[in-house]
Amino acid sequence: MYYWIILLIIYIVYITLKVKEKSFNRKADLMEKPFNIETLEKYCEDMFKFYNVNPIKIINNKYFSYNKAKNIITIRAMKEYNFLDTFICFHEIGHYISSKSKYIRIIDNILIILFMISRICLTPFLIIFGVYCVVKSYNPIPSNIYFFINILYLSISVIRIITIPFIEGRANYFAKKFFIGSGILSDYKKQEEPIKIIKTSCLIAQLNQMIICILYTYIVICLFYIVNVY
């Protein structure tokens, strides 16, 4: 019974963070929106120059992201962008800049492979298979193999939870340094307001990623426990 309570607590924390995230997004929307797509793209070019890295292709899409496989930056297509939107865009470029480091690139590549294995293969398999075993009260896989798969998944999840603050924090560092150094806020009267919203929003986004990872990991652990104990 207790594991359902823990699961509920984790889920409540996740929902609370999502509500907080939307709240800060609404606050950001109420702020001045001084940028259009041309201005934002110009700042992106300036950021490449600021860090002396080769510019990469920037395209409009439904969301902000850095596609490592295609080596492109996608910008959410909107008519106007507020300070938070701009920082998120810089954050994605920060991921690209971070990957220019040889050692970071090696670590990134290893983590991407591990996370892809976890997200595409292990997570759906362990949840679906675990539910099947619980419903059928039967585990067709040898217990040692099932145990090994769960340990592998748990190890990757722990690595992901630990590395999220480092990976996202490094991208935030590059974004923040350029955001302040470029003088974007120089004409804005209340400079502390957007910075506060940006910092809090970034923290919530990181916590959200960690909570989602913890949530799925806990579900898998619970299913493993039920299958093996009951």
**Tens digit of pLDDT for each residue in 185-197?**
766 666 677 778 8
Helices (H), 51-185: 83-98, 102-116, 123-136, 143-181
> Given a cut of 70, is residue 132 above it in pLDDT?
yes
Q: What percent of the chain has pLDDT over 90?
A: 28
Q: Are 161 and 111 in contact (CB under 8 A)?
A: no
For the stretch 52-92, pLDDT in tens is 999 998 888 888 899 887 889 998 888 888 888 889 999 99
Q: What's the mean pLDDT in 31-41?
A: 80
Tell me the chain's radius of gyration from C-alpha atoms. Answer: 21
For the stretch 91-110, pLDDT in tens is 999 999 998 887 888 888 88
| Higher per-residue confidence, 32 vs 180 | 180
Q: Which amino acid is at 223?
A: L
- Domains contained in the chain, number: 1
Q: Are 91 and 172 in contact (CB under 8 A)?
A: yes
- How far is residue 33's CA from residue 89's CA, in Å, rounded to a whole number? 14
In terms of residue numbers, what domain contains 145? 2-229
Predicted pLDDT of residue 6 = 86
Residue with tokens 């299913």: 223
Predicted pLDDT of residue 191 = 62
Cβ-count burial 123-148 (b if 16+ within 10 Å, e if not): beebeebbeebeeeeeeeeeeeebee
Predicted pLDDT of residue 48 = 93
User: pTM to 2 decimals?
Assistant: 0.85
- How many CA atoms lie within 13 Å of 174's alpha carbon, on the beta-carbon side? 28
Q: What percent of the chain has pLDDT over 70?
A: 96
Q: What's the mean pLDDT in 110-130?
A: 89
